[in-house]
A and B are shown apart, each in its own frame.
Chain A
Amino acid sequence: MASIKEVLTRSELFKGLSDEDLEKVAALGREEVCGAGTVIFTEGSVAEDFYILNEGKVALDMSLTPTPGVGRRVTVDTMINGQSFGWSAVGGTPVYTMSARCVGPIKVVAIDGKRLQSLLQENPDMGYRVMARLAALISLRLRNMRMTLRLFHR
Chain B
Amino acid sequence: MASIKAVLARSEPFKGLSDEELEKVAALGREESYAAGLSVVAEGTMAKDLYIVEKGKIAVEMNLSAYPGLVQDKMVEVVLEGQPFGWSAVVGSRVYTMSARCQEPVRVIALDGEHLLSLFSKNPGIGYKVMECLVEVVSSRLRSSRKVLLA
The verdict on B35 contacting chain A, using a C-beta distance below 8 Å, is no
The verdict on B16 contacting chain A, using a C-beta distance below 8 Å, is no
The verdict on A115 contacting chain B, using a C-beta distance below 8 Å, is no
Q: A128 and B127: CB pair below 8 A? A: yes
- Mark each residue of chain B from 126 to 137: 1 if its CB lies under 8 Å from any CB of chain A, else 0: 011001101110
The verdict on B87 contacting chain A, using a C-beta distance below 8 Å, is yes
**A residues near B, CB below 8 A?**
62-66, 87-88, 90-93, 97, 120-121, 124-125, 127-129, 131-132, 134-136, 138-143, 145-146, 149-153
* Chain B residue with the shortest CB-CB distance to A64: B150
Q: A153 and B149: CB pair below 8 A? A: yes
Give, as a whole number of angstroms, the nearest-CB distance from A154 to chain B: 9
Q: B135 is contacted by which of A63, A64, A92, A150 (Cβ under 8 Å)?
A: A92
Interface-located stretch among B3-11, B22-30, B53-61, B140-148? B140-148
Give, as a whole number of angstroms, the nearest-CB distance from A86 to chain B: 12
A93-B139, A131-B131, A134-B135 known; A146 vs B124 contact (CB < 8 Å):
no
Inter-chain contacts of B105 with A (CB < 8 A)? none
Inter-chain contacts of B34 with A (CB < 8 A)? none
The answer for the CA separation of A127 and B142 in the assembled complex, in Å, is 22
The verdict on B91 contacting chain A, using a C-beta distance below 8 Å, is yes
Q: B124 and A91: CB pair below 8 A? A: no
Q: A62 is contacted by which of B121, B124, B134, B146 (Cβ under 8 Å)?
A: B146
A91-B139, A128-B124 known; A136 vs B92 contact (CB < 8 Å):
yes
Inter-chain contacts of A138 with B (CB < 8 A)? 135, 138-139, 142
Q: B139 and A121: CB pair below 8 A? A: no
The answer for the CA separation of A87 and B87 in the assembled complex, in Å, is 18
The verdict on B99 contacting chain A, using a C-beta distance below 8 Å, is no
The answer for the CA separation of A87 and B121 in the assembled complex, in Å, is 23
Q: B128 and A121: CB pair below 8 A? A: yes
The verdict on B83 contacting chain A, using a C-beta distance below 8 Å, is no
The answer for the CA separation of A135 and B127 in the assembled complex, in Å, is 12
A120-B128, A124-B128, A127-B124 known; A149 vs B146 contact (CB < 8 Å):
yes
* Chain A residue with the shortest CB-CB distance to B125: A124
The answer for the CA separation of A2 and B6 in the assembled complex, in Å, is 51
Inter-chain contacts of B149 with A (CB < 8 A)? 145-146, 149-150, 152-153
A139-B138, A149-B146 known; A131 vs B128 contact (CB < 8 Å):
yes
The answer for the CA separation of A66 and B143 in the assembled complex, in Å, is 11
Given contacts A87-B135, A132-B127, A139-B91, 17 further A-B contacts (CB under 8 A): A66-B147, A91-B132, A92-B135, A93-B136, A128-B124, A131-B135, A134-B135, A135-B131, A135-B135, A136-B91, A138-B139, A139-B138, A142-B142, A146-B149, A149-B146, A151-B66, A152-B149
The answer for the CA separation of A120 and B128 in the assembled complex, in Å, is 8
Inter-chain contacts of B93 with A (CB < 8 A)? 139
